[in-house]
């Protein structure tokens, strides 16, 4: 971060400039259409999911989906996704094993992202909607900026794309707060650079939240955002909770790290023959989900899908779950999640949070560790392990816990930090990548994807993947408007966001 004496004049100059004021106005205006499209995108995805896993089995005379239900639908998901990944621009979005979000996608990649998310996630893919939403937000924002017919340099284009991502992701994270914290922490910016990026993102997500809330009340549609309908009971942690909590957080981080390692291995296996092996990967996910239902006699939807609904049921009554069922959920959903990370399309966070919460409830059987603290530390540890962002994970966990969060905050912070450190220590140093990333151009919507859209060493906590775009006051020290980034021309959308230049997370 630049010293205050140097940063303040630069910041005043930037904020007073006509270009930045136009950027703020554009970001505020973009928040409305991005949230509008995101609302119906997520609502449609959830409606299809409810039909596939609740309405249709009931219409066929089943009390709940039978154990074999995931098998044909995951096969269908693989058959739908394979041509999207191999033939459509952008390849249906970034590989989730590489992190929360890849490079901001261009407008050409949007159809593939929408098809992959809407037609495969409801079929039982063990991934969340957060990464497709971020891709949708950045693509719509860049498309709207292009329609203004005013050229954007690389820096302004990256800021607009980030604002679109923030507006979109805030729709399922409970509002602008978590999204803003995520952007600050993931970007690694301070001083002038933080303000330059944060203000447009806040405006876009704030305007989007107004639209999102209004449409939710008006239409009565549900979006399946990450929330607990019934918060866990209030509980004040004691010394035993902290003594057990630290090793429990380390254990949960190791579980999540193992799932991410499985995802990276799966991606490397799929890469030589992307089409047929994508189908095989989807079938393997279906086998894991079906095995959970067959062995436990429970609903296969608990091990399938993103996990928001199951997380709410677990939080509402954790004692209704036998320990054996929770262990089976951790095993089979964790395997299905790891396979999905490497071969399918979606977001990595939501399923990992359910796995972490289930592991935390299992650990609560230890003497002196309460159920509420166990669940709290499980959510925080899993989120920090998969994103590499302990601050964002702590804020997200506190918001999820609701009224009982005040007393859990110290334990939540401890768990997030421990999990972040343990995951980094468990990650093997990666070798220097050879050549360019195989799908960098496709990720920006410039052509058909090859096998995948980024190198195997990408950061799991990355919001924007890779690139070199810099912001005022960032570690790179680039001057405002320097245009450093992947876009060489003034009207070329950037292919990278504020994550550039960060040390790799696990």
φ, ψ for residue 128 (rounded to 5)?
Answer: -100, 175
Mean pLDDT of the chain: 79
Distances 448 to 81, 457, 487 between C-alpha atoms, Å = 14, 22, 19
d(CA 63, CA 52): 13
pLDDT of residue 198: 78
Q: Which residues pair with 89 in a beta bridge?
A: 448
How do residues 40-90 score in pLDDT, each as one tens digit? 898 899 999 999 999 999 999 999 999 999 999 999 999 999 999 999 999
d(CA 477, CA 224): 41
Top mean pLDDT of 119-128, 172-181, 222-231, 304-313 is at 119-128
Do the beta carbons of residue 86 and residue 271 sit within 8 Å? no
pLDDT of residue 358: 97
How do residues 209-254 score in pLDDT, each as one tens digit? 777 665 555 555 555 555 676 666 666 777 888 889 899 999 999 9
Full-model pTM = 0.81
Do the beta carbons of residue 344 and residue 285 sit within 8 Å? yes
Q: Which residue has the higher pLDDT, 450 or 349?
A: 349
Six token digits for residue 338: 């790891």
Question: Does position 411 have pLDDT exceeding 70, yes or no?
Answer: yes
Give the angle subtended at the CA of 9 by the CAs of 155 and 157, to the nearest 5°: 10
Give the angle subtended at the CA of 50 by the CAs of 44 and 54, to the nearest 5°: 165
Other beta carbons within 10 angstroms of residue 284's beta carbon come to 18
pLDDT of residue 488: 36
How do residues 257-289 score in pLDDT, each as one tens digit? 999 999 999 999 999 999 999 999 999 999 999
Q: Which residues pair with 128 in a beta bridge?
A: 347
φ, ψ for residue 89 (rounded to 5)?
Answer: -55, 135
Do the beta carbons of residue 106 and residue 492 sit within 8 Å? no
pLDDT of residue 191: 61
* Mean pLDDT score, 477-489: 36
Do the beta carbons of residue 228 and residue 379 sit within 8 Å? no
pLDDT of residue 465: 38
pLDDT of residue 166: 85
d(CA 345, CA 121): 8
d(CA 349, CA 172): 12
Give, rounded to a whole angstrom, the gap between the first and last alpha carbons of the chain: 24
> Per-residue confidence at 36, pLDDT binned at 50, 70, 90?
confident
Residue written as token pair 């994550």: 499
């Amino acid at each position: 971060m630049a010293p205050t004496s140097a940063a303040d004049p630069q910041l005043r100059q930037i904020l007073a400039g006509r270009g930045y004021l136009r950027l703020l106005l554009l970001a505020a205006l973009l928040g409305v259409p991005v949230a509008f499209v995101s609302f119906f995108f997520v609502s449609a995805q959830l409606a299809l999911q409810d039909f596939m896993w609740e309405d249709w089995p009931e219409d066929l005379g089943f009390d709940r989906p039978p154990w074999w239900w995931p098998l044909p639908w995951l096969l269908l998901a693989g058959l739908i996704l394979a041509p999207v990944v191999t033939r459509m621009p952008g390849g249906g979005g970034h590989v989730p094993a590489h992190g929360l979000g890849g490079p901001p996608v261009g407008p050409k990649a949007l159809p593939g992202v929408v098809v992959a998310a809407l037609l495969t996630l409801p079929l039982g893919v063990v991934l969340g909607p957060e990464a497709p939403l971020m891709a949708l937000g950045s693509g719509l924002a860049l498309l709207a900026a292009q329609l203004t017919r005013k050229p954007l340099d690389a820096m302004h284009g990256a800021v607009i794309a980030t604002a679109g991502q923030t507006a979109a992701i805030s729709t399922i994270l409970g509002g602008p707060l978590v999204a803003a914290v995520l952007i600050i922490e993931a970007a690694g910016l301070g001083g002038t650079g933080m303000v330059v990026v944060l203000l447009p993102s806040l405006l876009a997500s704030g305007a989007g939240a107004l639209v999102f809330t209004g449409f939710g009340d008006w239409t009565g549609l549900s979006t399946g955002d990450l929330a607990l309908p019934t918060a866990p009971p209030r509980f004040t942690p004691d010394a035993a909770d902290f003594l057990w909590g630290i090793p429990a957080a380390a254990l949960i981080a190791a579980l999540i790290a193992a799932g991410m390692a499985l995802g990276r291995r799966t991606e490397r296996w799929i890469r030589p023959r992307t089409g047929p092996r994508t189908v095989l990967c989807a079938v393997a996910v279906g086998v894991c989900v079906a095995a959970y239902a067959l062995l436990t006699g429970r609903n296969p939807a608990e091990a399938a899908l993103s996990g928001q609904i199951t997380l709410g049921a677990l939080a509402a009554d954790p004692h209704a779950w036998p320990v054996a069922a929770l262990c089976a959920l951790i095993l089979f959903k964790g395997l299905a999640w790891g396979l999905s990370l490497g071969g399918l399309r979606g977001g990595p966070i939501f399923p990992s949070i359910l796995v972490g919460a289930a592991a935390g409830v299992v650990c609560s059987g230890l003497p002196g560790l309460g159920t509420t603290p166990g669940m709290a530390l499980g959510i925080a540890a899993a989120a920090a392990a998969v994103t590499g962002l302990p601050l964002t994970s702590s804020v997200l966990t506190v918001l999820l816990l609701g009224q009982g969060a005040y007393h859990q905050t110290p334990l939540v912070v401890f768990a997030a930090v421990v999990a972040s450190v343990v995951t980094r220590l468990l990650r093997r140093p990666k070798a220097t990548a050879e050549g360019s990333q195989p799908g960098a151009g496709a990720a920006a919507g410039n052509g058909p994807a090859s096998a995948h859209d980024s190198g195997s060493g990408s950061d799991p906590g990355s919001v924007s993947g890779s690139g070199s775009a810099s912001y005022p006051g960032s570690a790179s020290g680039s001057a405002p408007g320097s245009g450093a980034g992947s876009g060489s021309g003034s009207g070329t959308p950037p292919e990278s966001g504020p994550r550039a230049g960060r040390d790799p997370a696990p």
